[in-house]
Amino acid sequence: RANKVLFAEAGKDFVDFLFHILSLPIGTIIKLFGVKDVVGCLGDLHKSIKALNTHSMQSNVTKELVLQPTAPVPLPALLKDSCDSSDTGARKVYTCSSSYHSPCYYSDASGD
């Protein structure tokens, strides 16, 4: 006889944590390398979510959102292509952490 887990219960916080893990770029890595090549139990977790009944998920979350996450906008895309080298004054940079996936950066620099 093999020792296998046939059923397990978990609280909502733990399940949300597991979904959060898959919403990271790890979901993309699983897609690129394949479920068999992923180290650890992430491949099994990916297969379990793929087989999950959609009635078990919140209405605003789809399996595709978890299994095929989109990467956040890279920071260089938010910046200008060229810098004005004549302005060497010190600048303050402010960040807002209200969004986990794409933090905002603001500077006190004037211009467009």
Specify the range with the lowest mean pLDDT, choosing from 38-42, 67-71, 95-99: 95-99
Q: How high is the pLDDT of residue 79?
A: 42
Mapping DSSP to helix (H, G, I), strand (E, B) and coil, where does residue 105 land? strand
Q: Would the pTM of this model clear 0.85, i.e. be above it?
A: no
Q: How high is the pLDDT of residue 109?
A: 57
More confident call, 84 vs 47: 47
Measured between alpha carbons, how far is residue 60 from residues 1, 26, 29, 45, 47 in Å? 42, 21, 24, 21, 21
User: Which band of pLDDT confidence, cut at 50, 70 and 90, is reported for residue 78?
Assistant: very low
Over range 22-36, report the average pLDDT.
70
Kindly report the number of other CB atoms within 10 A of residue 45's CB atom.
19
More confident call, 13 vs 41: 13
What residues contact 28, with CB distance under 8 A and at least 6 apart? 68, 69, 71
Q: How high is the pLDDT of residue 75?
A: 45
- Rounded Cα distance between 46 and 27, Å, is 8
Domain residue extents for the chain: 12-67, 75-107
Over range 62-69, report the average pLDDT.
76
Chain-centre distance for alpha carbon 59 = 19
Instruction: Give the tokens for residue 82.
Output: 């060229």
